[in-house]
Amino acid sequence: MTNAMELYQMLPKTNCKKCGKTSCMAFAVALMAHELTPEDCPPLKEEPKYKENYEKISGLFKPSEGATETGLIVHEDLCFGCGNCVVACPPNVANDPYGVGSGNAPTNPNKLVLTVEDGVVKAQNLGECRRFGKNKILCNGCIVTCPVEAIEFV
Amino acid sequence: MEKNYYVCTGCGMLCDDIEVEAEKNIVNKVYTACRVGVAHMKEGTDNAVFRVGDKPVDEATAVSEAVAILKNAKNPLIFGLGTSSNEAQKLAIELAKKTSATLDDPSSFRLGSLVEALLQNRFKTCTLDDVRNKADVTIYWGTNPSDSHPRHLSKHSYFPRGKEKQRGWEEERTAIAIDVRKSHTAKICGNYFFEIPPGGDAEFIDALIAALSGKLPKTSYNFPPKRILELANILKGAKFGVVFVGLGLVYSLENLEPLFRLMDALNEKANFHLIPMVGYSNTRGFNENLFEETGYVNSVKFEDGAVKHGPEYSIVESLKAKTVDAALIIGYDPFSSLPRSIAKNLLEIPVISLNPFETLTSRNAKVYINTAVGGVESGGTATRMDGVKVDFKPVVETKRLSDEAVLKKIMEAL
Ligand code: SF4
Ligand code: SF4
Ligand code: SF4
Ligand code: SF4
């Protein structure tokens, strides 16, 4: 993965503020945090001379296969669906307190990060994961509660 | 939107929040169940098999052959029923009375003594829902629910928020494992894992009782007294404590006396409940149904309207002594779980096997009736490990008969 500096190097570096940020560097930081997307910089998106960089940056941020946006990997062969991680995951509890937060089936899986399907945990809605976004923290709820180390962050 | 939940009968937890996608009588997807539960939910098959000797027969022939065996027997053994519905179990009790049978279930070599003591009110107990709503200290003793009852910690005993436990497991709950090895459950308990040597449970109990009353805890295996005192301190502070007792503890004790003493000592200082870690979906049901009828939870013999009870009426002892002259084995495979030297005596008597699956027992049976998988292909009620009654309904249809239906037919024909 890249860092903000590398992203900055690929931006127009004009600090035109059209993205709503005060500088291209601030925009790069916002990109890193998944707060904004490459499309939010109008010059980058529209001007032909930035085409190559736009595609490159977009490529970096295209939603990746599976659960790699936050680096979360489920070792499906190890997981046996105990649901510990599902019930312990803080955003799961906040978004579905009486469903998964209380140990039960999800009442509304739409905003849940972890659910169990066919006996194996499934990661989705990673935007809700605490390791993601502007205020990200090194949450390890799903790691310490797993008896078999089936969840890992890379 | 009202959800259509099923009950998983994969273990004694009877999880009641399972969603299933099925098409053309085949279960494609199962939500929220653990891997064990998913495998169980997908076990259904459409075909029914009836066999007498090696020959496939029709239902009526199989039933009448079973009836003939039971009629000819002086002391048939009826055994199994751990995964049968309460309704089927009650019929089996009736059948046992009618045929003067010896009636037993796997609890006679598992947790039967513990459940019996519980039904005699010798322990304070509570439901798993109480555990979720109130428990602040849980002890897993000689049990590893992470493997045997995979959703135990997540659905009830450790991780979920409950009515009086809103702040979560990190702040409001302490989970303790006492076991002879670092199981998956022990791993979750982290620093609160107490590893004792095999057979060291009774001594550990005495040391803990000593520590609870402020005495120096001693064990012959030199368990660090400081750690036992630490443990005692946590337990003393429990507002709602639960001890989950597994086979590891029961097998290690000669009798339940140490456990009675421990629970009394805990309840002098704090508030503690005991829940047996019953394995099969409805073993607790069998124990309760038989207890209601006879005052015993297993190992009984009916004779002329009277009931006798004792270890000699357990499957192990009655096969060993060859006192039974036929056997009706329901949902169980003694060949895979009893010592060969005992199970082999089944080869000398006519056996009727009722089982959804081919097993060594069914292959060696005189009559084999391939029954429906309870909770997947047939419905009824079962009793959860904590004594709560749970209704379950079938997920898919099948031509196979439920245990209940087969027992009913046998009863009618007798
Ligand atoms: S819109 Fe693009 S070029 Fe303008 S400040 Fe933002 S990032 Fe820089
Ligand atoms: S890291 Fe935290 S928020 Fe993210 S999935 Fe795991 S428990 Fe949930
Ligand atoms: S990832 Fe681990 S904690 Fe989560 S369901 Fe699977 S085995 Fe359980
Ligand atoms: S814990 Fe037991 S009852 Fe619950 S889903 Fe798993 S096998 Fe089924």
pLDDT digits (tens, 9 = 90+) for B267-309: 999 999 999 999 999 999 999 999 999 999 999 999 988 999 9
- Would you say residue A67 has pLDDT above 60? no
pLDDT digit string, tens, across residues A84-120: 999 999 999 999 999 999 999 999 888 999 999 999 9
Other C-beta atoms closer than 10 Å to the C-beta of B306 total 9
- In this structure, chain B runs to a length of 414
- B258 neighbors B205 (Cβ within 8 angstroms): yes
**Alpha-carbon distances of A142 from A149, B38, B73, B154, rounded to whole Å:** 9, 22, 57, 12
pLDDT for position A69: 67
Residue B154 to residue A147, Cβ atoms within 8 A: no
Q: Is the CB of residue B8 less than 8 Å away from at least one CB of chain A?
A: no
Name every chain A residue with its beta carbon within 8 A of the beta carbon of B155: 83, 87, 103-104
* Atom number, ligand 1, closest to the C-alpha of residue A24: 8
Mean pLDDT of all residues belonging to chain A: 88
* Assigned token pair, A48: 């032909």
Pocket probe for ligand 2: among A70, A79, A89, the residue whose CB has the most ligand atoms within 8 Å is A89
Give the dihedral sign, CA B286/B291/B294/B295. positive
Q: How far apart are CA A43 and CA B317, in angstroms?
A: 86
pLDDT for position A35: 77
Mean pLDDT of all residues belonging to chain B: 96
Which among B246, B247, B251 has a CA at the least distance from the CA of B199? B251
The closest residue, in CA terms, to atom 8 on ligand 4 is B37
Segment B317-339 shows an average pLDDT of 96
- Would you say residue B242 has pLDDT above 70? yes
Within 13 A of B245's CA, how many CA atoms are on the CB side?
A: 30
Percent of chain A with pLDDT over 90: 64
Q: Please tell me which residue, A33 or B394, carries the higher pLDDT value.
A: B394
Q: How confident is the model at residue A68 (pLDDT cuts 50, 70, 90)?
A: low
pLDDT for position A64: 47
Q: How far apart are CA A140 and CA A85, in angstroms?
A: 10
Q: How far apart are CA B401 and CA B330, in angstroms?
A: 13
Segment B394-414 shows an average pLDDT of 95
- Would you say residue B391 has pLDDT above 60? yes
**Among candidates B5, B156, B160 on the partner chain, residue whose Cβ is nearest the Cβ of A105:** B5
- What is the ipTM score, two decimals? 0.94
- Would you say residue A63 has pLDDT above 70? no
Ligand closest to Cα of A15 equals 1
Helix and strand numbers, DSSP H then E, in chain B: 18, 18
Which domains are assigned to chain A?
A: 4-61 (1.10.15.40), 72-153 (3.30.70.20)
Segment A129-141 shows an average pLDDT of 85
Residue B29 to residue A87, Cβ atoms within 8 A: no
Which among B97, B103, B100, B92 has a CA at the least distance from the CA of B75? B100
Ligand 4: list residues with CB < 6 Å.
B 8, 10-11, 13-15, 33-34, 36-37, 149-151
pLDDT for position A2: 63
Which among B77, B93, B105, B63 has a CA at the least distance from the CA of B281? B105
Give me ligand 4 centre to Cα B407, in Å.
Answer: 27
**Among candidates B30, B146, B159 on the partner chain, residue whose Cβ is nearest the Cβ of A88:** B159
Segment B391-404 shows an average pLDDT of 95
Among A52-66, B48-62, B347-361, the minimum mean pLDDT is found in A52-66
- Would you say residue B196 has pLDDT above 80? yes
Percent of chain B with pLDDT over 90: 96
Q: How confident is the model at residue A65 (pLDDT cuts 50, 70, 90)?
A: very low
Cβ pairs bridging A and B (under 8 Å): 98
pLDDT digit string, tens, across residues B128-156: 999 999 999 999 999 999 999 999 999 99
Helices of type H across B295-339: 315-320, 334-337
Percent of chain A with pLDDT over 70: 93
Segment B182-206 shows an average pLDDT of 97
- Would you say residue B359 has pLDDT above 70? yes
Q: Please tell me which residue, B400 or A2, carries the higher pLDDT value.
A: B400
Segment B74-81 shows an average pLDDT of 98
pLDDT digit string, tens, across residues B11-47: 999 999 999 999 988 999 999 999 999 999 999 887 8
